[in-house]
Amino acid sequence: MIRTLTWVALGVSLAMAVACAEQQAEATDAGPERGPERGKILRRTLRADPTHQYLLYVPTHLVPGAPIFVTVHGVSRNVEEHASLFEPYAEDHGAILIAPFFTKDRDDDYQQLSAGKTGIRADATLNSIVSEVARLTGADGRRFYLFGFSGGAQFAHRYVLAHPERVIAAAIGAAGWYTFPDAREPYPYGLGASPERSGLHFDPNRFLHVPITVLVGKKDIEGGENLRRNPEVDRQQGITRLERARRWVNAMNQAARQRGIAPPVALEEAAGIEHSFREFMREGELGERVFGAFFGSTSSVGAGR
């Protein structure tokens, strides 16, 4: 069903989501856990690892085998904003929404799939969250749709490289920098051996089959303190997020052609958009772009729609 929401309503939705997110949906020792409440954004603690939390939205009309949509925050840790602004799209498409929360203290380098202070890699944490949600809701947890913005986009594209069998399709929103499909460069700049790659395996013949949409604003050309800058990354990728997105898309598609694989990566540049998740959602139709790439059609959710 097509729904039209004003951005005033979305602001109210965000405030309500933050309040709803404080409601814990945890199991007790008294008995088996019931399915999560539908139609509300809930904050959950991961039972397999209580040091990690995530936000969960189960659509009101849940069907067995429902698809899972994962959205990953950037270094600002705006997990509530991700869950709230994507919730209307998840509801309209009958998708279960998961927004993992990677804290600075526990998961400082989650963007690179690092283990952090808990000793558990961020990709393994997401796998545990998806498995838990699938068990609780009856969703299909074998494969899911993956989105990330900024630092979350770094995590998302590296997750695809490491776990292509888990991702139906991915959308990468304005990553600061990328891991290129080049075995001559050490990870995380490329696929080559390095201490940071411990336990990670990359097979281009597998990850180059995953459909990926890269989304970036045409005005995303400012550096900022959170954009990695050094001679190595600047030489390989360029100096702005826009330039780096273009180079990575070209590198991925060229790597696919060299292996006889159809180019898997599409680039969408949004006019007038800088480096802001909220601005991209409000003025750049990020929600429509992401769910259009994943499901082939979109609901009109947003101002003037």
pLDDT tens-digit map of 203-243: 999 999 999 999 999 999 987 667 887 778 888 888 899 99
Q: Which amino acid is at 280?
A: F
Max CA distance (Å), the chain: 58
Rounded CA-CA distance 211/167 in Å is: 9
pLDDT tens-digit map of 61-115: 999 999 999 999 999 999 999 999 999 999 999 999 999 999 988 898 999 998 8
What is the share, in percent, of the chain residues with pLDDT greater than 70?
86
Task: For residue 117, give Cα distances in angstroms to 51, 110, 293.
Answer: 10, 11, 35
pLDDT value at residue 231: 78
Q: Is the pLDDT of residue 160 over 60?
A: yes
Q: Is the pLDDT of residue 134 over 50?
A: yes
Whether the Cβ atoms of residue 23 and residue 42 lie closer than 8 Å to each other? yes
Backbone dihedral angles phi then psi of residue 98, each to the nearest 5 degrees: -125, 130
pLDDT tens-digit map of 3-21: 333 333 344 344 444 444 4
pLDDT value at residue 6: 36
The length of the chain in residues reads 305
Rounded CA-CA distance 86/107 in Å is: 23
Mean pLDDT (the chain, rounded): 87
Whether the Cβ atoms of residue 41 and residue 82 lie closer than 8 Å to each other? no
pLDDT value at residue 300: 53
Mean pLDDT of 141-145: 97
Give the Cβ contact number of residue 168 at 10 Å: 16
- Decide: residue 302, CB within 10 A, 0-12 exposed, 13-18 middle, 19+ buried: buried
CATH topology of domain 7-23+34-295: Rossmann fold (3.40.50)
pLDDT tens-digit map of 107-130: 989 999 988 777 889 999 999 999
Mean pLDDT of 245-269: 98
Q: 262: helix, coil or strand? A: coil
Whether the Cβ atoms of residue 282 and residue 302 lie closer than 8 Å to each other? yes
What's the sign of the alpha-carbon dihedral 107, 191, 162, 93?
Answer: positive
CB crowding 84-101: b at 16 or more within 10 Å, else e: bbbbbbbbbbebbbbbbb
CB crowding 217-252: b at 16 or more within 10 Å, else e: bebbeeeeeebeeeeebeebbbebbbebbbebbebb
Give the Cβ contact number of residue 206 at 10 Å: 14
Mean pLDDT of 164-189: 97
pLDDT value at residue 126: 98
CA trace torsion 77, 274, 267, 153 (10° rounding): -10
Q: Is the pLDDT of residue 32 over 70?
A: no
Give the Cβ contact number of residue 19 at 10 Å: 12
Confidence of residue 256 (pLDDT cuts 50, 70, 90): very high
Whether the Cβ atoms of residue 10 and residue 85 lie closer than 8 Å to each other? yes
pLDDT value at residue 150: 96
Radius of gyration in angstroms for the set of CA atoms belonging to the chain, rounded to a whole number: 19
